[in-house]
Amino acid sequence: DGGITQSPKYLFRKEGQNVTLSCEQNLNHDAMYWYRQDPGQGLRLIYYSQIVNDFQKGDIAEGYSVSREKKESFPLTVTSAQKNPTAFYLCASSIQGGNTNEKLFFGSGTQLSVL
Amino acid sequence: GENVEQHPSTLSVQEGDSAVIKCTYSDSASNYFPWYKQELGKRPQLIIDIRSNVGEKKDQRIAVTLNKTAKHFSLHITETQPEDSAVYFCAASNAAKAAGNKLTFGGGTRVLVKP
């Protein structure tokens, strides 16, 4: 069940601490995404990247940062500025970004909790 | 921006009965409507999608209908089986308007199929 891998599966954050969630894909997909999943609220887009060295804010980017230095990697940092970080975080990829409608391939997620 | 509402939030059906989940969207320019299924502890996976140039699409026991005038679309599952138990998410996007394959998701419907 490879393709897109997230780690760790569970992560705990202390007050004032930055934490980084890993997302790696071996599908050779151009586009990658980070979603946040809260109970009853569906999936909300945090950041997305259509191509290496480029990324854009999604609907709830405040308190988060990303990088896209390699095609296969799209790490998400939850900063101390994110006051309510407890959630399930899903990474996804698609063959290409741009003006297309394409199937998203999801990772298995990371559950982040605050200590 | 786009807003997608999904109903009901939970749905319990007897095995063999049909299940219907409805979503409404706000942006009349949206033209792509996928449905994702997330089984317990697993990643979301695309099960069916429809584009605005068709009104209905079927794939074995699942079907999706789209009413562009009313701005709503529905997922229909016939002859439900225990393996249909999962959370289902609808989504909408407009590729021409939103670069980067940006999907707006509904809040999800938890479906329980009772044997």
Q: Cβ separation of A42 and B32 shorter than 8 Å?
A: no
**Cβ neighbours of residue B100 closer than 8 Å, sequence gap 6 or more:** A31, A48, A50, A56, A97, A98
Asked if pLDDT for residue B99 goes beyond 60, the answer is no
Q: Which two tokens stand for residue A89?
A: 């975080």
- Supply angle C-alpha B106, B90, B17, rounded to 5: 115
Q: Please answer whether residues B20 and B62 qualify as being in contact, where contact means their C-beta atoms are separated by less than 8 angstroms.
A: no
CA distances from A64 to A43, A59, A77, A87, B9 (A): 16, 11, 6, 13, 29
Give the one of B9, B43, B102 whose C-beta lies nearest to A48's C-beta. B102
Pick out chain A residues at pLDDT < 70. Answer: 1-2, 97-100
Asked if pLDDT for residue B95 goes beyond 90, the answer is no
Residues B54-74 have a mean pLDDT of 95
Cα A7 from Cα B113, distance rounded (Å):
32
Asked if pLDDT for residue B98 goes beyond 60, the answer is no
Closest residue in chain B to residue A97, using alpha carbons only: B100
Q: Cβ separation of B44 and A106 shorter than 8 Å?
A: yes
pLDDT of residue A34: 96
Give the one of A97, A106, A108 whose C-beta lies nearest to B100's C-beta. A97
